[in-house]
Structure 1
């Protein structure tokens, strides 16, 4: 899918990639959701489908935090308070731990909720705000949202499909 250039394309990318991901998540046998046999987000680590959903949920909720802080005129600690961009493996581990106690169906529901809230926030935002100016460094708000929603959805789906095929 091409890189979104406006609000409508961003919303379409999110919906399309999330729909594909969701269909693939539905194929994961419940008895295997905690099986850590998939390459993890940090070099040399393994993760489970549960961890992958926790990672996506963590990033989606982080995007919501960014948007809420921006809306309030508050500073945003990109990517997250206490983390630098070169520590994303450590941040992934944090996300795995943040949701470890949730039942898998509740975690998937939480991902759906976060994605719906992002879509609603985009719906309330004008194209000029999403794509008309840099928001973080050279990146627009729309691009930062896309980097952390539709792109990871597509990546996660590919990982899951390969993992399922290997079963």
Structure 2
């Protein structure tokens, strides 16, 4: 169930990040770098989640500035997420495990700061400017933060089970 207030969003963001952080602290670098059948590693998933926080913040600020908001990114359509994610993995291939974890923590801090600096009305009072849909900024923040934290944890648990 999505959050409907700033307080709920703060709570769920901290709760889901805490769970993910606890999980990733247990993963050795060699395990984090192992690729699965889709050529994706745990490191890739963590770096991806950090990147999507950046995307959301960019969407928000572009909309606030009256600029065109490119969803999910300039040159890509939502139907091209598989290609976008493959291109992102290539762009982030230089990251090692500690760097990916540090990046996620940094971006989580930026997301938390964003949420804390907005009023409830700014987060849930109306659609996000430039989004061309009825999602509120708080809903977009939840999709890029806590929802992604949960899906990352699910991926990691499955990857660890598959590796024994």
TM-score normalised by L of structure 2: 0.90
Measure the CA separation in 2 of the matches of 1:56 and 1:139: 20
- Cα deviation for residue 132 of structure 1 reads 1.2
Aligned length: 160
- Aligned pairs (5 A) from 1:126-137: 126-135=119-128, 136=131, 137=133
CA RMSD of aligned residues (A): 1.5
Segments ≥4 residues shifted beyond 3 Å? 70-73
- Cα deviation for residue 17 of structure 1 reads 0.7
- Aligned pairs (5 A) from 1:28-67: 28-37=27-36, 45-67=38-60
Structure 1 stretch displaced more, 25-34 or 115-124: 25-34
Any idea what SS the aligned residue of 1:46 has? coil
Aligned to 2:90: 97
Gaps in structure 1 of 5+ consecutive residues: 40-44
Q: Is the 8 A contact 2:47 2:103 kept in 1?
A: no
2:138 is aligned with 1:145? no
Any idea what SS the aligned residue of 1:61 has? helix
Any idea what SS the aligned residue of 1:81 has? coil
Measure the CA separation in 1 of the matches of 2:83 and 2:33: 20
Gaps in structure 2 of 5+ consecutive residues: none
Measure the CA separation in 2 of the matches of 1:21 and 1:116: 14
TM-score normalised by L of structure 1: 0.88
Higher strand share: 1
Q: Is the 8 A contact 1:54 1:95 kept in 2?
A: no
